[in-house]
Amino acid sequence: MEQVKLGIVGLGRLGRNHAANINYKILNAELTAVCSAIPEEVDAVMKEMKPSYGSTDYMDLFKDRDLDGIVIASNSAFHSQMVIDAANAGVKNIYCEKPLGMTLEEIELMKTAVETNGVNIFQIGYNRRFDKSLQMMKKKIDEGFIGKPILIKLANRDPVWDRENLIKFSPTSGGLVFDMLTHDYDVARWLIGSDAQTVYGIGGAYGYEGLEAVGDIDNCMLTVAFDNGVMGFLETSRNSTHGYHVEVEVFGTEGSVRMGTVPNRDRVVSYNKNGVTTECVQWFYEFWEPTFEAELQHFADCIQSNTKPVADFMDGYKAVQWAFAAKEAVDKRQIVTMK
């Protein structure tokens, strides 16, 4: 196949960017069909990017046998139904945004649908695996540069949110642990090549009045014991006053590798009577922008060459399983053992 024909469901905050990446940047892919429940979003993308057709009914795309793959970028609560409907309708190549599903029951149903319908390529949207710095860290770890890995530390901090927006967003996101930390857990298990054995955590609502009332928190820290003996420390926050900030360090018997110590927006350093400053990245998309193109490039390449993606269905499944254990650990302040 010369050009990979892709259809996308969801044209919101992230889906619109995915559509643009497919349309403008991924040379071996073609944005063929677009879908959103919001007609204005479909109209806007049809006008600007001119795919073959647009629809507000995702089944139009799932039944279209001319499409080589479907990108699902809808709200997390709809992933399970859409993946199940796509698999049942005969879609063979699916990219799905993270998290895979919102409940353990959902991910089981998805697994059955994907397996029984013979879905060929299933990629989950863990875009951080496509970050060049993290890829370099993984290469060095795999080559033995740090010796035997002892500890992995991850910080994942959102800039300060508008309080009302956060309270509105929180119930649909699965809450802080679920929304923020599945990315970090995926990065950790990919970098050190091991699943979690136990998880313990504490957290609370420190900065946003009313957040606790909707069952959420804004800061937490977790300790994770991995099967291979590596100790994990994961912390996350919605209160980073300087901007969006992600740090990763893997420390071993012979050295360490780390990234993201200063969340520079660019290479400018400014000096005046108040001191020395650098501007910070303010939002996740800015920080991870190249990875969003790279992950969809990978999806198109996997379809073209019929190869397994680097982040697949079981990676998504394991991250959701872990997130439930981690949430239970924080809620009960107990060590939870992974089943």
Ligand X SMILES: NC(=O)c1ccc[n+]([C@@H]2O[C@H](COP(=O)([O-])OP(=O)(O)OC[C@H]3O[C@@H](n4cnc5c(N)ncnc54)[C@H](O)[C@@H]3O)[C@@H](O)[C@H]2O)c1
* Interface positions with ligand X (CB under 6 A): 9-15, 35-38, 41, 58, 73-76, 78, 97-98, 125, 127, 284
Which amino acid type is present at position 34?
V
Spell out the SS3 assignment of 49-63: HCCCEEECCHHHHHC
Q: Is beta strand 121-124 parallel, antiparallel or unpaired with respect to 256-259?
A: unpaired
Q: Which helix or strand (DSSP H or E) is residue 70 part of?
A: strand 69-72
Structure tokens at 271: 């000096």
In order, the DSSP letters of 32-44 are EEEE-SSHHHHHH
C-alpha span between 77 and 87 (Å, rounded): 17
Query: Is the backbone peptide bond immediately before 99 cis, with ω within 30 degrees of 0?
Result: yes
> Please, how many CA atoms are within 13 Å of residue 36, restricted to the half-sphere of its CB?
18
Name the minimum Å distance from CB 80 to ligand X.
Answer: 11
- Closer to ligand X at the Cβ: 195 or 289? 289
Structure tokens at 267: 């290479």
Structure tokens at 67: 């499409």
Structure tokens at 238: 């919605």
Burial class (CB in 10 A: 0-12, 13-18, 19+), 23: buried
In degrees rounded to 5, what are phi and psi of residue 7? -115, 145
Q: Is beta strand 29-35 parallel, antiparallel or unpaired with respect to 93-96?
A: unpaired
Structure tokens at 160: 């300060």
Contact criterion met (CB below 8 Å) for 91 and 72:
no
Name the minimum Å distance from CB 197 to ligand X.
Answer: 26
Name the minimum Å distance from CB 253 to ligand X.
Answer: 33
- Closer to ligand X at the Cβ: 145 or 285? 285
Residue 222 Cα to chain centre, angstroms? 19
Residue showing the smallest CB distance to ligand X in the complex = 12
C-alpha span between 30 and 274 (Å, rounded): 51
Polymer length of the chain: 339
